[in-house]
Structure 1
Amino acid sequence: MQERKRDQYYRLAKIKGYRSRAAYKLKQASKTYNLIREGQRVVDLGASPGGWLQVAREIVGPEGLVLGLDIKPISPIPFPNVHLIEADIYDPEIEKKILNELRGFADVLLSDLSPQIIGAWDVDHARQIDLARRAIAIAKNVLRPRGNALIKMFHGPELKGLQEEAGKMFFRSRLYKPQASRPESSEIYFLGLGLRNWVAKEREGMEGQAEDEDGKNRDVTVE
């Protein structure tokens, strides 16, 4: 507890009313790479307790839409354009649920998904990579062309291959560690900027998936 109190981002989060210190990771990523913009539609996987939802709502403003998804309940965030779903990312219908809730494709996909850490490094790494791989698959199905993604991964032997696989989907990509990440943490984030059009055209089982070439979102409802 004393260590947490000495953590500047923990203290800042308390002062500013953010639900977690992780809020500053997203603030830094978005400021550095213009990840999220005003008026956009954002989906946040593994959104509990809601720090990233708060930041995303600040950036998109009243005209945007933010959707938080977690297998655990999330306490409501008192804005009408912040929607919450209690669901499992491995639900085969999850992409359809996201599209219906957003009433269209997402401009940005965020994933701070993390496994239950057991302290066995190889197991923790494998579980985190599996979560990241699922987040990438969801991004492929719910992001509009030119959309952006920020997805948590862990350092380890499977990182490079997954980074390269995901990187092919975007015009620009890199690994990024926000200043707010603890130095001793093995977490690293995959940053993808500008989903390529060919990815959108390969969507599986999605109705009305191909947006206009100018990247504008069309409203969709998937039965």
Structure 2
Amino acid sequence: MKRTKTSKSWMTEHVNDPFVQRAKSEGLRARAAYKLMEMDDKDRLIKPGMVVVDLGAAPGSWSQVAVSRVGVGGRVFALDLLPMEPIAGVEFMQGDFHDADFVAEFEALLGDRKVDLVLSDIAPNISGISSSDQARSIYLAELALDFALQHLSPAGKFVVKVFHGQGFDEFRKVMGGAFKSVQIRKPQASRGRSSEVYLLGVGPRG
């Protein structure tokens, strides 16, 4: 298939992206790792001994960051519908995180511990129809929020990717009702032309 001008432009931008080059040199699976690093450095999301869940984890760059920062006393669960190459110290589960049987399997592994941090860098497969893509993005964010509220500790934190557009303000209000504090973050590694931002919720209201 012949590449379009748009796809060629994206590939050129991607190859020349300093975060892409840095990720390759540092053995990270995707440039997205630097988004989490920056948010963690700013908001102290990840601490030694924490239980962290990475939703939609593949290819695994956020899990790589999380496992390097929770230390030997922490646990990192990576959940995704897609397969993911193993990462030392990360417990990967392939399945649908809003399927009841899959969640029960996860909870059995979790045991009596609550989750300290839920991460979601999920984005829908892009169809090119902006209204449809935005609706699916908000839906995935809502599913991640439901999961987080079911499993977070009283002091837990939730980071979720959301795109500006229809439904964004409503979702932010829902987050505001669900957490004691909600902040918007736009990491430097997030491409400037992208409408993506991250919402950080701290302290679920129960």
Question: In the TM superposition, what is the alpha-carbon distance from 1:151 to its structure 2 partner?
Answer: 0.6
TM-score (norm 1): 0.84
Question: In the TM superposition, what is the alpha-carbon distance from 1:101 to its structure 2 partner?
Answer: 2.1
Alignment correspondent of 1:169: 178
SS of residue matched to 2:100: coil
2:139 maps to which of 111, 115, 130:
130
Select the structure that is richer in helix: 2
The amino acid that maps onto 2:91 is H
Question: In the TM superposition, what is the alpha-carbon distance from 1:36 to its structure 2 partner?
Answer: 1.2
TM-score (norm 2): 0.91
Give yes or no for contact 1:95–1:142 (8 Å, CA) kept in 2: no
Give yes or no for contact 2:135–2:166 (8 Å, CA) kept in 1: no
Say yes or no: does 1:98 pair with 2:121.
no
Task: Summarize deviations over 1:121-163 as a string: whole Å, max 9, x none.
Answer: 1111000000000000001101111100101111112011111
Structure 2 portions without partners, runs of 5+: 1-10
Alignment correspondent of 2:36: 26
What is the rounded CA distance, in whole Å, between the counterparts of 2:134 and 2:101 in structure 1? 26
Report % sequence identity.
Answer: 41
Give yes or no for contact 1:128–1:154 (8 Å, CA) kept in 2: yes
Say yes or no: does 1:152 pair with 2:161.
yes
Question: In the TM superposition, what is the alpha-carbon distance from 1:170 to its structure 2 partner?
Answer: 1.6
Say yes or no: does 1:61 pair with 2:63.
no
Task: Summarize deviations over 1:144-192 as a string: whole Å, max 9, x none.
Answer: 1110010111111201111111122222112211111011112111111
RMSD of the TM alignment (CA)? 1.2
Give yes or no for contact 1:65–1:102 (8 Å, CA) kept in 2: no
Task: Summarize deviations over 1:29-55 as a string: whole Å, max 9, x none.
Answer: 111111111110000000000000000
Give yes or no for contact 1:70–1:87 (8 Å, CA) kept in 2: yes
Alignment: residue pair count = 195
The amino acid that maps onto 2:129 is A
Question: In the TM superposition, what is the alpha-carbon distance from 1:93 to its structure 2 partner?
Answer: 3.3
The amino acid that maps onto 1:84 is F
What is the rounded CA distance, in whole Å, between the counterparts of 1:153 and 1:122 in structure 2? 14
Give yes or no for contact 1:43–1:109 (8 Å, CA) kept in 2: yes
Say yes or no: does 1:115 pair with 2:124.
yes
Question: In the TM superposition, what is the alpha-carbon distance from 1:4 to its structure 2 partner?
Answer: 1.6
SS of residue matched to 2:116: strand
Structure 1 portions without partners, runs of 5+: 200-223
1:78 maps to which of 83, 88, 91:
88
What is the rounded CA distance, in whole Å, between the counterparts of 1:55 and 1:122 in structure 2? 32
SS of residue matched to 2:76: strand
The amino acid that maps onto 1:126 is A
Alignment correspondent of 2:6: none
After TM superposition, which residue ranges in structure 1, 4 or more long, deviate above 3 angstroms?
A: none
Say yes or no: does 1:180 pair with 2:189.
yes
The amino acid that maps onto 1:85 is M
Question: In the TM superposition, what is the alpha-carbon distance from 1:65 to its structure 2 partner?
Answer: 0.2
